[in-house]
Structure 1
Amino acid sequence: MKAFVPESVWKTIFLADQENIGFWKLLENVVVAPFTAAMTFIGSMGNIPIATIIASSGVTFGGIMAFIYSDLMVPPIIKVNAKYYGKKTALYIAGVFFIAIVITALLLHGAFASLGILPESAKQIMEENPFKVNYTFWFNMLFIGLTIVTLGLHRKFKKSNSEMHMNHHKDSLFMNIVTYACILFVGIGFILHFVI
């Protein structure tokens, strides 16, 4: 897609070269993104790489989120809905999704901006060192902690169930080895991050 569609097209569609229009640029990005996603739809997995391309063209965070969420209202899904529910209902569902996508993208952009964690432009990110202690680092630490707590609860539940002689599937040795190898890998990566 990047090879066939010049960056200037994305900048024109999303008003990326327009400066100092604030909310109006955000609103335009959020409203236009679902239609752009419908025109460039190549599958659920394909919209993320395309979102990366438009992000590097200067599209707002809200516009990128609207583009990604638009997976819910692409032509193939509308066609399936029309087949099962009729054309009128399918268009109604698509309209509800469109309104929900626009509102959600605006709220996400506003929330991230008010917390000061609005992602920087993709071009700036590519020029900087991606490894730094910021909110993503702390989210990673939080979820590593939650994973450890969850594994502990699982072990406790498994032990209490084995004492009650309940019939549950036994864990395979392979699954345990893979799980602990992954935890060890994350732990070593965490330690090396601060050492190197």
Structure 2
Amino acid sequence: MLVDGYTKVPAGKLVAAVTCLEMRTPVKAARDLVPEGVTLERQEKPGLDWYRDLYLRVGGDWLWGSRLVLGDDALAAILEDPRVEVYAVVSGGRAEGILELDFREQDQCELAFFGLTSNVIGQGLGRWLMNRAIERAWSRPISRFWVHTCSLDSPQALDFYIRSGFVPYERMVEVFDDPRLTGVLPEHAAPQIPILRG
């Protein structure tokens, strides 16, 4: 049980305020434009090196590390599960964004990973990609589409999810090892978040 007030966090650890959001019925897609020269391509059993590269390019500045600590077998088991759908936003012949939908929980879909590389941010692709995510999630017989974001993510993320039709329902605190100090991410990742060494 958390108590009010400040709690010291040991050096080498990070703290994130996590907000969980859900969508219980499909929402009408917000207006978007189909970006010229951009496609969304399903990746059937994506290669692990390909996946890790895209995951790092999209999430490195936001300290995404959970998939990078998984061994090959554990990661392949997720990505090759037919209930997990991985899509790449392809621009200029290169994957520049990720959409990962996880249907492994009955009647639900988790928006497991969603993001764009810095190369394509600011081009309206976020709204376009979210509309595709909502369409794809609700194309299956689910009763709940959900996502979580945290205070280490892009400052626009929480508001973007709310504007997309997700409703906040729970808040949590996550404490974890700084992935830049464990070697999971390079030390130059997420320069906006200072490293506190022991």
Q: Pick the structure with greater CA Rg.
A: 1
Which bracket does the TM-score occupy, shorter chain normalised? under 0.3
TM score, norm. by length of structure 2: 0.24
TM score, norm. by length of structure 1: 0.24
